[in-house]
Amino acid sequence: MARDGGCTFPGCDAPPSWCRIHHTVEWFADHGDTDVWILAAVCDFHHHLCHEGNWRVEADRQTGHQTWVDPAGGRHAANQRGLGAEPPEPPNQDEPAELVLTA
């Protein structure tokens, strides 16, 4: 939530407290990982669009940037406004990821 700063749907200003985490790679059906680089904060309305409205979020593991893709294939930059609006560097794929939580 800190990275995204709220709902990542373009133009949505829902704060983090209104959001849930969406797996950009379906974690159950497609055996996707629960990895910070493939998670996106979305409000309930836009989370519904992912599952019922044929919208999807694509994440670039190299840059951390996310793109929303509409049902017609149009691409829209995600609304990532947390942590200075610049996504952090992705982890080295050769080393295990370390999660550090701070209060």
Measure the CA–CA gap between 93 and 32, rounded to whole angstroms: 16
Q: What is the pTM of this model?
A: 0.68
What per-residue confidence (pLDDT) applies to 61? 74
Q: What are the φ and ψ backbone dihedral angles of 48, each rounded to 5 degrees? A: -60, -40
What per-residue confidence (pLDDT) applies to 69? 93
Q: What are the structural domain ranges in the chain?
A: 16-85
Strands (E) in the chain, as ranges, are: 19-23, 39-43, 56-59, 66-69, 75-77
| 79 and 10 Cβ atoms separated by less than 8 Å | yes
pLDDT, averaged per 10 consecutive residues of the chain (103 residues), comes to 84 91 70 69 91 87 84 89 56 54 49
